[in-house]
Structure formats: structure tokens, C-alpha cells
């Protein structure tokens, strides 16, 4: 599948480590048919060495169109990992050149590649040579500022990248301050490939408001426990609490297919706030759910909450 086969704006689930695993991606797909899904990042050397890490390549056919995101610094490892990924039949490979985590940057991965343009291009070329998949790059505005964004991305385009996603913050900013989209619009005027904007998008409508000359947008944090965020709220009504709990329970079941009980229970906490956000008593319920000592009581609490749904009124304030 090529970008030209997809309808614009390209609406994408942003890659998020510990969040966008196959369970959550399947839930996003169930709710929003047109979203392009991106996996959480996976280290290329891990993929080569470890059968356990390779399990992260598993996905459900419903997830198409789907990009697998990888990170690392060795072009040969990227080539080997790319072959493995191609065998899985995904739409493309996304290379992370924006992660600011200390451990990642110290290993010359992620954001560090913005400072080593030659190495970044060698990686892209290596992936392009080793497989026939589309290659995209997700990066940030730059290290301290956006001065180098256009030359960096032009080099990536020449190396064979067919899509760019820009998180509108610098490495130094981390997640601080507001995302700056003006630099992304400027970039789009200077490359010939699709560009997606990313950073602080609230929902589909807000993403469309940010589009300007871009080809699409990614939504990250606002999608956690809220797979409806990709729907056009003018066409689809917001789900009621009962629907949200039903989907949360399905999500938990899917998570259990890939994680043991104690891990799934712990990891699901990250999504809970999103699923029940905006409803009266949400905070108190979340606390109860977090304290559930085992799966049985956790599911029971959610089901009980669903039964009592008429007692809860939608309240933006809670
Ligand atoms: C928990 C978490 C994990 C993330 N993991 C990744 C990742 O694996 N790869 C990546 O490119 N970006 C990652 N990001 C960054 C997001 O993809 C996105 O660029 C960022 O959150 C800004 O978008 P948002 O404001 O819509 O959340 C992560 C962000 C969060 C909050």
C-alpha cells in the first residue's frame, strides 16, 4: 500500500513505548477504521538477538495500514531487522530519530541521530537497500532549535525516506512548552514527500485545525485510553460510559493475550484515566480499580461500574 492509496488527512496513532502494543492498536482500529497505526519503538539489536523481543513484531491483520517503529544506530542491524519486519507484511518501517530518553541518546540512538546526519542517512539507505518497504522517519524540530530541520530532512529525503513526522519540540525541550507547528509548515514547503505534524493535538477536529499545508497528523497522549479521539466528533457522538467500559474490558482481554495477569493489571492502569475521564466519580473509581488486587476483582469492579452507569452523569469537571 502506498501513501497515495490513503485518504488525506493522514490520521495516525503516534508510536508510544509501553502503550501502542498490538492490544491497544487493535482497539484503536476497532473504533476508528481509517487511522494509520504506528507501533511502539523496538531496538534493532534486541530484535536480532532475542526471541522475546521479536514477539513485539506480532500484530493482527486488522491493524493494516500499520508501520513498525524501530530504533538503534548500527546500519547493519537496521538492515537485518528490516528484513525480519518485511517478512511480517507491514506497510512500512518508521525509524525513530526523536526519542530524547537519556539511555537512548547516550547510545547514539533516537534524537542523537539529528546531530549525526551522515549516520542517519546511512541507516535510511541501509533499510532501503535491504527491503522493499516504505521507510519513514519520526523526528523532532532539532537539538536546541529548528535551524537545521530543513537541511536534515532534505538529506533524509535524498536517502530514500518517503514520509516524515515531526514532533514540534526540540530535544532540549523534552515535553516542555507548546509544540511549534510553524517550523513544520515551513519544512513542508521545502521537501517533496508527505509530512505529518505532531504535538499537543487534542482530537481529530483539532488535528484538522492544525493541518495548514501538511499531509496529516499524529495523536499520542490524548489517545491513551481514548481510541475515539480519532473520530470526527461532528459525525460520531462521544461514547457513553457504558460503551467506554465495554471497550476497556475488550482492551484488557487483548492485553491479557500478550501479558501475564500481574503485568497486564499494572500496565492497564495507564489507560484507565483515559477510559473513564470526564465522568462523575472518575477519580474515586480509578483509585478503586488501581487497588484491585487481582484480575477477578478488577473485572468485577468494571462490570459493576457499567451496571451502575445510570447513576453516573457526564461531567466535564471531574
Ligand atoms: C509514554 C510515551 C511513550 C512514547 N514512546 C515513543 C516511541 O516509542 N517512539 C516515538 O517516536 N515517540 C514516542 N513518544 C512520543 C510520541 O510519539 C509523540 O511524539 C509525543 O507524545 C507528542 O505527541 P502528543 O502531544 O500527541 O502526545 C512517546 C510519548 C509518550 C508520552
Q: Tell me the whole-structure pTM to 2 decimals.
A: 0.95
What pLDDT is attached to residue 307?
85
* Ligand 1 mean position, distance from CA 9 (Å): 20
Nearest ligand 1 atom, CA 69:
9
CA distance linking residue 36 with residue 29, whole number of Å = 9
Residues 1-26 as b/e (b if ≥16 CB within 10 A, e otherwise) read eebeebeebbbbbbbbbebbbbbbbb
Nearest-CA neighbor of 252 among 209, 300, 207?
Answer: 300
Distance CA 209, CA 144 (A): 27
Q: Indicate which residue's Cα is closest to atom 7 of ligand 1.
A: 16
- Cα(19) to ligand 1 centroid in Å equals 9
Q: How far is the centre of ligand 1, averaged over its atoms, from the C-alpha of 239 (Å)?
A: 25
| pLDDT tens sequence for the chain (318 residues) | 777 788 999 999 999 999 999 999 999 999 999 999 999 999 999 999 999 999 999 999 999 999 999 999 999 999 999 999 999 999 999 999 999 999 999 999 999 999 999 999 999 999 999 999 999 999 999 999 999 999 999 999 999 999 999 999 999 999 999 999 999 999 999 999 999 999 999 999 999 999 999 999 999 999 999 999 999 888 888 899 999 999 999 999 999 999 999 999 999 999 999 999 888 788 888 899 999 989 999 999 999 988 887 666 554 444
Q: Which of 12, 16, 269 to mutate to test the pocket of ligand 1 (most atoms within 8 A of CB)?
A: 16
Instruction: Give the pLDDT confidence score for residue 284 in this predicted structure.
Output: 86
Q: For ligand 1, pick from 11, 12, 13, 15 the residue to mutate: most ligand atoms within 8 Å of CB.
A: 15
DSSP 3: G
Among 39, 166, 202, 221, residue to substitute to test ligand 1 (most atoms within 8 Å of Cβ): 221
Fold of 241-311: 1.10.1200
Distance CA 299, CA 7 (A): 38
For the four alpha carbons of 134, 223, 232 and 211, in that order, the dihedral sign comes to negative
- Which protein residues are within 6 Å of ligand 1, measured from CB? 14-19, 40-41, 69, 96, 98-99, 138, 167, 198-201, 219-222
105: nearest Cα among 171, 176, 15: 171
- pLDDT at residue number 193: 97
Looking at the chain, the domain(s) classified CATH 3.20.20.70 span 3-230
Residue nearest to atom 4 of ligand 1 (CA): 16
**Nearest one of 11, 71, 50 to 206, comparing CA atoms:** 11
Instruction: Give the residue range(s) of CATH 1.10.1200 domains in the chain.
Output: 241-311
CATH architecture of residue range(s) 3-230: Alpha-Beta Barrel (3.20)
14 Cα: distance to centroid of ligand 1 (angstroms): 6
- What is the number of other CB atoms lying within 10 angstroms of the CB of residue 54? 16
Dump the DSSP string for 188-244.
Answer: HTT-SS-EEEESS--SHHHHHHH-TT-SEEEE-GGGTT-GGGGS-TTTSPPP-HHHH
Minimal-distance CA residue to ligand 1 atom 22? 199
- Residues 289, 292: Cα–Cα separation, whole Å: 5
State how far the Cα of 243 lies from the Cα of 236, in Å rounded to an integer. 13
- For residue 71, report the distance from its CA to the centre of ligand 1, in Å: 14
Amino acid at each position: 500500500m502506498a501513501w497515495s492509496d490513503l485518504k488525506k488527512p493522514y490520521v495516525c496513532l503516534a508510536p508510544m513505548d509501553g502503550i501502542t502494543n498490538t492490544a491497544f492498536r487493535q482497539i484503536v482500529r476497532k473504533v476508528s477504521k481509517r487511522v494509520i497505526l504506528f507501533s511502539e519503538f523496538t531496538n534493532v539489536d534486541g530484535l536480532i538477538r532475542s526471541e522475546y523481543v521479536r514477539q513485539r513484531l506480532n500484530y493482527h491483520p486488522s491493524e493494516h495500514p500499520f508501520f513498525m517503529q524501530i530504533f538503534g544506530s548500527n546500519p547493519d542491524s537496521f538492515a537485518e531487522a528490516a528484513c525480519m519486519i518485511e517478512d511480517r507484511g507491514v506497510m512500512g518501517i518508521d525509524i525513530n530519530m526523536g526519542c530524547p530518553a537519556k539511555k537512548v541518546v547516550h547510545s547514539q540512538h533516537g534524537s542523537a541521530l539529528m546531530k549525526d546526519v551522515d549516520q542517519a542517512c546511512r541507516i535510511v539507505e541501509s533499510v532501503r537497500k535491504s527491503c522493499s518497504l516504505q521507510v519513514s522517519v519520526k523526528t523532532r524540530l532539532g537539538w536546541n532549535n529548528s535551524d537545521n530541520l530543513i537541511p536534515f530532512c532534505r538529506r533524509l529525503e535524498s536517502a530514500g525516506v518517503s514520509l516524515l513526522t515531526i514532533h514540534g519540540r526540540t530535544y532540549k525541550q523534552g515535553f516542555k512548552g507548546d509544540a511549534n507547528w510553524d517550523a513544520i509548515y515551513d519544512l513542508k514547503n521545502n521537501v517533496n514527500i508527505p509530512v505529518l505534524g505532531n504535538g499537543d493535538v487534542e482530537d481529530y477536529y483539532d488535528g484538522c485545525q492544525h493541518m495548514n499545508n501538511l499531509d496529516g497528523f499524529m495523536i499520542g497522549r490524548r489517545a491513551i485510553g481514548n481510541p475515539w479521539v480519532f473520530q470526527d466528533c461532528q459525525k460520531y457522538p462521544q461514547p457513553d460510559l457504558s460503551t467506554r467500559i465495554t471497550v476497556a474490558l475488550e482492551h484488557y482481554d487483548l492485553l491479557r493475550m500478550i501479558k501475564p495477569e500481574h503485568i497486564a493489571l499494572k500496565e492497564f492502569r495507564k489507560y484507565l484515566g483515559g477510559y473513564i475521564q470526564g465522568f462523575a466519580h472518575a477519580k474515586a473509581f480509578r483509585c478503586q480499580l488501581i487497588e484491585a488486587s487481582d484480575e477477578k476483582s478488577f473485572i468485577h469492579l468494571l462490570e459493576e461500574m457499567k451496571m451502575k452507569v445510570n447513576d453516573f452523569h457526564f461531567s466535564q469537571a471531574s
